[in-house]
Amino acid sequence: MMDGVSVFSEHICELGEGPSYDPATDALFWFDIVNGKLLEKSLGGALKVHDLGLMASAIAIIDEARQLIATEKGLYIRDVPTGKLTLHTPIEADNPLTRSNDSRVHPCGAFWTGTMGKDEEKGAGAIYWFFKGELRRLFADITVSNSICFSEDGAIAYYTDTATGLLMRTSCDPATGLPTGEPKVFVDHRASKGFVDGSVVDRDGVLWNAVWGGKAVKAYSPDGVLLREIAMPVTQASCPAFVGGKADRLAVTSAWKGKDEKQRKLDPQAGMTFLLDIPVKGRFEPRVLIA
């Protein structure tokens, strides 16, 4: 294993995504999107696999008993003790071609959630804002929504359409999580190996990005300068999350999706989830406000 990188879970996900850590239970939650599974594992415990019965990609904490899950039909409330799912806000529920993808909670409690075509159809997805029961579409014509994350003060939002190779940033209203300006290019990744996938922002404003197809996690300064690149033992790292009691470690999901049998043999850990023990000043995800 590479320096500072260890296996957190050997469970193989076809499309591991959407990691989110709950400090109250010391558990990481993540998804195998295309197989409709929610995975749960405390940092010292055994893996739990929850079958959802539909494609889902992201999770947020409402309170001790409820979670909000982004799915192919919209936002569901998950009852933690029973696992029961209840549809709260439909999103593209009448469009069988799309599903949810990258999503994250703004510091004010708003939820930015992205959609995309199940076969990555060009421009089929969008990015939405959900706050206290209200839903608005922010950006349309998105092929693969990714890298949704925010500065700690809520004044900056980041996102990408992975297909473009451009990681964008926009100013935000800290009180509502709504964009207040026109998006501008934060990082132009088009000449680099791989694609911009999921990201998180730490307390110093450093953005940590999983590079799909690039065997790496990259860290960028608040002005978009590449600070460091951490080599990963898998080709398709998909999304990072801060974990641990001090949020000072990174968990990173991965995927084998799109690989044939020969390619999978060359990438045997593809789909596993990893821990990165590197210096990072992380922070916990805010709780989402649904009403």
User: How far apart are alpha carbons 99 and 225 in whole angstroms?
Assistant: 32
Q: 217, 202 in Cβ contact below 8 A?
A: no
- Kindly name the residue from 22, 32, 102, 197 that is annotated as catalytic: 197
DSSP string of 80-140, one letter each residue:
TTT--EEEEEESSTT-TTEEEEEEEE-TTS-EEEEEEETT--TT-EEEEEEETTEEEEEEE
Q: 252, 210 in Cβ contact below 8 A?
A: yes
Q: 283, 105 in Cβ contact below 8 A?
A: no
User: How far apart are alpha carbons 242 and 92 in whole angstroms?
Assistant: 30
Pair of tokens at residue 224: 């978009």
At which residue do the structure tokens 């599974």 appear? 37
User: How far apart are alpha carbons 166 and 183 in whole angstroms?
Assistant: 11
At which residue do the structure tokens 């409709």 appear? 36
Q: 275, 282 in Cβ contact below 8 A?
A: no
Q: Which helix (H) or strand (E) holds 264?
A: helix 261-266
26 catalytic per annotation: no
**Which residues belong to the active site?**
197
